[in-house]
């Protein structure tokens, strides 16, 4: 049973997630956006799971985009959105956690300690 945590190391929200996982001795694989490019298939799976929450509209990366790029990120054409995302992976909400764990399938976005507790710890 493996879960994968997607994100970047130097992010406060990621640190909270890593701390939670460490405290609860939950093993995981880490997909670092700074070292690897997310596949289009994974991106589309994230959109299927989380909808438009996948794009972090509160983050610095998003705020630096011009209006045309922001409009393209709102497109229903996921291949257009992916072209922007693959070059600017910091625009993705962090962390995204998917996989299988003791309680079954896992799909989490962002950090919510009570939701992590409910989803990732044994009941």
* Residues designated as active site: 11
Q: How far is CA 80 from the centre of its chain?
A: 19
Instruction: Return d(Cα 46, Cα 56) in angstroms, integer.
Output: 13
Q: Residue 108, SS3?
A: strand
Q: Which residues pair with 98 in a beta bridge?
A: 4, 107
Instruction: Return d(Cα 68, Cα 52) in angstroms, integer.
Output: 17
N-term to C-term CA, the chain: 17
């Amino acid at each position: 049973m493996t879960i994968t945590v997607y994100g970047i190391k130097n992010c406060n929200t990621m640190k909270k997630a890593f701390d939670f996982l460490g405290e609860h001795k939950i093993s995981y694989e880490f997909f670092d956006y700074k070292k690897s490019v997310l596949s289009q298939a994974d991106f589309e799976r994230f959109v299927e799971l989380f909808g438009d929450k996948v794009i972090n509209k509160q983050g610095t990366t998003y705020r630096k985009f011009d209006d045309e790029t922001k409009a393209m990120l709102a497109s229903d054409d996921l291949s257009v959105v992916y072209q922007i995302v693959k070059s600017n992976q910091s625009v993705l909400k962090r962390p995204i956690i998917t996989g299988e764990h003791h309680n079954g399938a896992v799909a989490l976005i962002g950090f919510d300690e009570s939701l992590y507790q409910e989803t990732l710890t044994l009941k």
